[in-house]
Amino acid sequence: MAYVMLIDDSATVRMQAAKALSAAGFGIIEATDGLDGLEKLATSEDAISLIVCDVNMPRMNGIDFVQAIAHSGAIPPPVIMLTTEGHPDLVRTAKACGARGWMVKPFKPELLVAAAKKITGA
Amino acid sequence: MRGSIHAKVFALIAVVAIALIIGLASFFTGRYVDATHRELDERLRIYSQLAAHELVPVLEFDDRQTLREIMASLGADEEVAAIAVYRDDGTLVGSRGELGAPDTKRIAALIHGHSTKGTVVIEMSTALVDAEIANANRGTLLVTALALALALTGAWLVGRHLAVRLGSLASMASKVVANATMESDTPFTDESSDEIGRLSGSFNTMVGRLLAAQSREIELLLENVTEGFVIVDAKGNMGAHHSAVMDRWFGSVEKGMPLWRLFAEHDPNAAAYLELGWEALFDGFLPPEVALDQFPKRLKHGESIFELVIQPIKGENGDVTSALVVLTDVTAAIRRAEVDATRGDVLALCERALADKSAVVDFVMEGDSILRVILEAERLIEMKRAVHTLKGVAGQIGAVNIAACCETIEDGMVVSETGKPRSQDVATLTTRWQALTAHLRTLFDRTSGEVYVERVDLDQLLGRVEAHAPHAELARQTKLLRLEPMQVRLDRQKQAADALAKRLGKDIEITGSAGRLRSDPAVWAPFWNAFTHVVRNAVDHGIEPVEKRLKRGKPARAKIRIDIVRSSSCVMIGATDDGGGIDWFKVAKKAVLHGLPAETPADLESALFFDGLSTCDDVNDVSGRGIGMGAIRAVTESMGGTVAIESRTGHGTTVRFTIPVTALGDAYTDISPRAVAA
């Protein structure tokens, strides 16, 4: 089973994504912000194949998170950044810092599942 | 080369040339050989005749000297190999050379004398002749070979020449068949006036006409189509051909220009997302359907709005190499939809007004004040509640498009990082509201000066006046008439609940009475507006689906009762349903999720009123956002009242509002319980 990490400070968003992805057979690891994500990434027993990460979060935002994992030494799993409409500059910054893909919120859960399937090869 | 014109022509010419050359060579060589041999024969004959004549005296007189001279003279010809003279009886008179040598020609001639006869035999060597013939043969061979070589080369060249010209024509033709284009910078020209030249001339003309016809048709298509079509490559640059309408929309659209430059000036946000989205579409990380969903669906340019559709195009090896972009000007369509939406609402409200005009008037007035709160609220939570309430009352009265507008604002607030709505959504609501009410204001006399009085109440007052009742009583009765019967509001709530129940396919009996209580509409309007949330919650969430009810042993027909009673100090509004009751476990779970205390029943009851807490997993357009309870409590508390919830799992829920009786209106102050009519 492939594992996906969901990093978002909104419980509703995490729940929506988790529901759709687990129904499609993915394992889910949730984190509430960048720092939490880093910790869970480091301590996770299961190999994480994809990270879906929000931009605006307390303590450590998405951009800083992506930068942090890029410098962590090992090759990090690919990151899809979730952004809100109206901030194309954030998307650019996210890509520049290493995010491989992006999706605008609100996203359609079935599209997230399709992306996860393609990226993890599941 | 095999099977081609080249081979065939070469073979043809080669065969002919070979036959001709070899034939000629044989013929002329044969003739030369004959002639040469004949010359030798002739010489031999003449020699023999001459010798025969000269040798007569030799035989007659045995003139050895003459014999020697003749033989010497003959012998002077190098080719004479041998000479011999015989008498008739066979005796050898004289000889010279070796008789019977190989490679010689022999001739014998009779010598006729007066009295003697004899034979002279001359043998001439054919060696020289043969050598000459051999030489000639060699020469002929050489010439023949040369001629053949020249002929074959010529054949090859001619064949190639024809093959090349025909081949060019053929490959040009197949290119046209394959691509239906002709590279205009290398036209196929064959200047010669032979058949191939004429053929290529006609070919050029034919193709030119064909392509002109085709491209004219395509031009016509692109000129007249009303959508913007253009092919955009993987880098986002537009191709050479696009529909003419795009030039009218955007000014000059040039090949190689990036697609997003069309919108950079008027809609920079959308243009940026176009660019980013294009990169995502072609970098292969996300599946194409996901990348396509991220594109802005609508883009602005000046006063116009365009809808964007992107259709990826696969190249020869199955990879996506470019995409067709279709732009549709939806400005008019959007405007029409707006007009239709407003018109729909106007129609619904007019229908409602036929049954209950005051309801519509109240809706317009209350809606105005709610909208003012939305636009001017300082705290986000006030705005949230106002939007939610407007949605409720608009839905209740049938103004579905206003309600939809509010729904859009609410969606925007959920998604937004700051919780604030998108200003364009609020602007849309304002515009729509003003359009709607502008229509209605022309239909209704929008004075707040109307009061709804029932004839029976007026008659009763008149009776008391004519009976000279005490002034205080008359004053109070008159004041009461300025207040609105609460039953009116209650009936509206019941009606709306009924309509909602039908819409959701639930069988619910809705009853309730307000007695003869009256209230000041201005004070109570916000309460009733927020009360719609209580009703909607009961209908939507409280009442279970029929199957569940039957399983629980309840009647299929559900009941909701809304009663209003008063005591000496308070008025109590209770809404009771016999549905499934509140799922306190879910409330607890959600409370924890939101970081609220969830230990005691009081905690859980508080949590129920928390804005944003809902036991529903799905938000629909009726309820589920968790805003309603907070709104009604806020209003109730602002009137000096309290809210309480009682719920029994599986049996139903009662929401009770206790509000000081003075909130009803100034007719209810300073009165004794006895004197109260209701």
Please report the pLDDT score of residue B654 as a whole number.
93
Q: Which of B273, B276, B290 sits opposite A111 (nearest CB)?
A: B290
The first and second tokens of residue B222, run together, are: 């692109």
One-letter amino acid of B85:
V
Pairing mode of beta strands B652-660, B570-577: antiparallel
CA distance A103 to chain B (A): 6
* Through-space distance between the first and last CA atoms of chain B, rounded to whole angstroms: 115
Q: Which of A91, A100, A108 sits opposite B276 (nearest CB)?
A: A91
Q: Which sign, positive or negative, has the C-alpha torsion B316, B317, B321, B324?
A: positive
Give the range among A82-86, B282-286, B535-539 with minimum mean pLDDT.
Answer: A82-86
Mean pLDDT for all residues in chain B? 85
Long-range contacts of B107-111 (CB under 8 A, 24+ apart): B107/B44, B107/B45, B107/B47, B107/B48, B108/B48, B109/B48, B109/B49, B109/B51, B109/B52, B110/B52, B111/B52, B111/B55, B111/B56, B111/B59, B111/B85
- Is the pLDDT at A33 greater than 70? The verdict is yes
Please tell me which of B324-333, B589-598, B631-640 the model is most confident about, judged by mean pLDDT. Answer: B324-333
Residues of A within 8 A of B273 (CB-CB) are: 85, 88, 91, 104
- Average of per-residue pLDDT across B527-550: 88
Please report the pLDDT score of residue B184 as a whole number.
52
Does the beta-carbon distance from A119 to B414 stay under 8 Å? no
Alpha-carbon distance B608 to B613, whole Å? 7
Q: Which residue has the tokens 């012998």?
A: B75
Please report the pLDDT score of residue A80 as a whole number.
94
Does the beta-carbon distance from A111 to B276 stay under 8 Å? no
Provide the 10 A C-beta neighbour count for residue B469.
13
Please tell me which of B78-92, B175-189, B516-530, B563-577 the model is most confident about, judged by mean pLDDT. Answer: B563-577
Tell me the per-residue pLDDT of B291-336, one tens digit each, with 9 for 90 and over: 999 999 899 998 999 999 999 998 888 778 899 999 999 999 998 9
Does the beta-carbon distance from A119 to B417 stay under 8 Å? no
- Is the pLDDT at B374 greater than 60? The verdict is yes
- For A33, the 3-state DSSP assignment is coil
Residues B507, B543 contacting (CB under 8 angstroms):
no
Share of chain B above pLDDT 90, in %: 23
Supply φ then ψ for residue B669, to 5 degrees: -90, 155
Using CA atoms, how far residue B286 sits from A103, B246, B666, in Å, is 10, 30, 67
Q: Which of B289, B411, B414 sits opposite A111 (nearest CB)?
A: B289
- Average of per-residue pLDDT across B567-590: 88
Alpha-carbon distance B177 to B186, whole Å? 17
Alpha helices in B512-647 (DSSP H): 521-537, 546-551, 584-593, 601-609, 628-638
Residues of A within 8 A of B594 (CB-CB) are: 11
- Residue from A12, A32, A82, A85 to probe the interface with B (highest B Cβ count within 10 Å): A85
Instruction: Judge if the upstream peptide bond of residue A106 is cis by omega within 30 degrees of 0.
Output: yes
Please report the pLDDT score of residue B328 as a whole number.
95
Provide the 10 A C-beta neighbour count for residue B428.
16
- ipTM of the prediction greater than 0.90, yes or no: yes
Does the beta-carbon distance from B414 to A12 stay under 8 Å? yes
Q: Which of B269, B289, B415 sits opposite A88 (nearest CB)?
A: B269
Alpha-carbon distance B420 to B381, whole Å? 10
- Is the pLDDT at A31 greater than 80? The verdict is yes
Long-range contacts of B27-36 (CB under 8 A, 24+ apart): B28/B140, B29/B136, B29/B137, B29/B140, B32/B133, B32/B136, B33/B133, B33/B136, B36/B129, B36/B132, B36/B133, B36/B136
The pLDDT-based confidence of B674 (bands split at 50, 70, 90) is very low
Please report the pLDDT score of residue B667 as a whole number.
67
pLDDT, greater one: B442 or B639: B639
Please report the pLDDT score of residue B673 as a whole number.
44
- Residue A86 contacts B where some CB pair is shorter than 8 Å: yes
Give the range among B212-216, B276-280, B385-389 with minimum mean pLDDT.
Answer: B212-216
Tell me the per-residue pLDDT of B104-157, one tens digit each, with 9 for 90 and over: 888 888 888 787 788 888 888 888 888 888 888 898 889 889 988 998 898 888
Pairing mode of beta strands A79-84, A101-105: parallel
- Residue B273 contacts A where some CB pair is shorter than 8 Å: yes
Please report the pLDDT score of residue B182 as a whole number.
56
Share of chain A above pLDDT 70, in %: 99
Please report the pLDDT score of residue B676 as a whole number.
44
- Is the pLDDT at A104 greater than 70? The verdict is yes
- Average of per-residue pLDDT across B518-526: 85
Residues B74, B122 contacting (CB under 8 angstroms):
yes
Residues of A within 8 A of B293 (CB-CB) are: 103, 107-108, 111
Q: Please name the residues between 608 and 647 in chain B that touch chain A, using a CB distance below 8 Å.
A: 617
Q: Please name the residues between 18 and 47 in chain A that touch chain B, using a CB distance below 8 Å.
A: none
Please report the pLDDT score of residue B620 as a whole number.
66
Please report the pLDDT score of residue A5 as a whole number.
94
Q: Which of A84, A88, A100 sits opposite B415 (nearest CB)?
A: A84
Does the beta-carbon distance from B276 to A102 stay under 8 Å? yes
The pLDDT-based confidence of B678 (bands split at 50, 70, 90) is very low
The pLDDT-based confidence of B164 (bands split at 50, 70, 90) is confident
Does the beta-carbon distance from A114 to B269 stay under 8 Å? no
Residues of A within 8 A of B287 (CB-CB) are: 114-115, 117-118
- Is the pLDDT at B181 greater than 80? The verdict is no
Alpha-carbon distance B49 to B53, whole Å? 6
Does the beta-carbon distance from B272 to A89 stay under 8 Å? yes
Pairing mode of beta strands B508-511, B558-566: parallel
Alpha-carbon distance B140 to B22, whole Å? 10
Q: Minimal Cα distance from B267: which residue of A? A: A86
- Residue A110 contacts B where some CB pair is shorter than 8 Å: no
